[in-house]
Chain A
């Protein structure tokens, strides 16, 4: 967290909403991306990101400045998403239907339909693979791959031990490999250009 963000944080703690708005702007990408990777649905991801920011705002008094703000935000977001996934499972909602590709992938390369189609296909594959994992494995994989967090940082976000994280990542990687082979994704992944 840089000095400017530190100032915004102090102002937000005193009830300045616009200062917190600047923090939202700075962290909305990582927070939203985490929610999207966990939930696999754009609308739900936006709602989860909003809820995570609101929770963070109401709990600013409990934020420990010794921790990284980004880690604290990711922790709130991922815990909220895990709660949502558990509720969703409890409601027995079917997640089998394919989800539409993310609009960010549609607009960035609108002038190149072939590249856009390839991006969409890759993105659908990413989400399909993530959705085969249990919540805690998915959380670990997302934090490792999209945020490049160390094992120690992931353990801090998920409030568990480093050895548990290593074990989850190991099992998740094996499970993903098995699924990719079983569902025939492996061949197309190998054909993808690096």
Chain B
């Protein structure tokens, strides 16, 4: 059975008979049934005549042939296996080089920097900078959380608004999922 669009569901049986008829698969009793339906529905009969006319037009339309030298021109454009092999080798070498060149550059830079980086004074300075950065982060986080806590204590309505906003987001996500995503799944 053909998957009919909704607007044709009223005449689903008639359209199914029409398709079978156009495919040359309709039995004699099917033809009789189709003709009786069409006699009762002039609009469908008109559409059926148009379908048959287009069907006949297409069936009588010939297979067209290209210019006689198409084969010669196409063969001349076929890539040779040797060319393809060379192209493959070149691509392989380029990919290999694109990986090796950055690796080599990193190794060279590391060798150049190693004597400087390995000095105890540099390492101590690096350690000190890391510790100071962590301390700074700690101070900033403490200040931010403290400020937020103080704000909520002074304005408790803000907390309620925050809860409302989260609830609205969850609600709209559920509605979107229900209406949009599920209908897309059905269509596909």
Chain A 107-136 interface 0/1 with B at a Cβ cutoff of 8 Å (1 = within): 000000000000000110110010000000
Chain A residues lying within 8 Å of B66, measured Cβ to Cβ, are 28-29, 32, 45-46, 49
| Known contacts A146-B63, A170-B19: A58-B74 contact under CB 8 Å | no
B70 and A181: CB pair below 8 A? no
B63 and A33: CB pair below 8 A? yes
Chain B residues lying within 8 Å of A163, measured Cβ to Cβ, are 2-3
Chain B proximity of A37: nearest CB distance (Å): 8
A137 interface contact, C-beta 8 A: no
B65 and A33: CB pair below 8 A? yes
B70 and A173: CB pair below 8 A? no
Cβ 8 A contact of B78, one of A25, A57, A180: A57
Chain A 158-177 interface 0/1 with B at a Cβ cutoff of 8 Å (1 = within): 00000100110111011011
Task: Give complex CA distance A163, B19 in Å.
Answer: 13
Task: Give complex CA distance A192, B62 in Å.
Answer: 16
The stretch from B49-57, B118-126, B171-179 touching chain A is B49-57
Task: Give complex CA distance A192, B59 in Å.
Answer: 13
Chain B residues lying within 8 Å of A36, measured Cβ to Cβ, are 64
B3 and A145: CB pair below 8 A? no
Chain B residues lying within 8 Å of A30, measured Cβ to Cβ, are 63
Chain B 59-73 interface 0/1 with A at a Cβ cutoff of 8 Å (1 = within): 111111111001111
| Known contacts A170-B2, A177-B47, A181-B46: A54-B74 contact under CB 8 Å | yes
Chain B residues lying within 8 Å of A100, measured Cβ to Cβ, are none
Chain B residues lying within 8 Å of A186, measured Cβ to Cβ, are 49-50, 53
B112 interface contact, C-beta 8 A: no
Give chain A's interface residue range (CB within 8 Å of chain B). Answer: 35 or more
A177 and B51: CB pair below 8 A? yes
Task: Give complex CA distance A167, B46 in Å.
Answer: 21
B78 and A54: CB pair below 8 A? yes
Task: Give complex CA distance A170, B47 in Å.
Answer: 13
A104 interface contact, C-beta 8 A: yes
Measured CB to CB, the nearest residue on chain B to A163 is B3
Task: Give complex CA distance A176, B106 in Å.
Answer: 65
A99 interface contact, C-beta 8 A: no
Chain A residues lying within 8 Å of B79, measured Cβ to Cβ, are 54, 57-58
Task: Give complex CA distance A105, B63 in Å.
Answer: 11
Chain A residues lying within 8 Å of B2, measured Cβ to Cβ, are 163, 166-167, 170
A73 interface contact, C-beta 8 A: no
The stretch from A14-22, A63-71, A78-86, A87-95 touching chain B is A14-22
Chain A proximity of B5: nearest CB distance (Å): 7
B142 interface contact, C-beta 8 A: no
A189 and B78: CB pair below 8 A? no
Chain A residues lying within 8 Å of B54, measured Cβ to Cβ, are 129, 173, 176-177, 180, 189
Given contacts A25-B71, A166-B3, 11 further A-B contacts (CB under 8 A): A17-B75, A20-B78, A24-B71, A46-B70, A50-B77, A102-B64, A126-B57, A145-B58, A174-B51, A194-B56, A194-B60
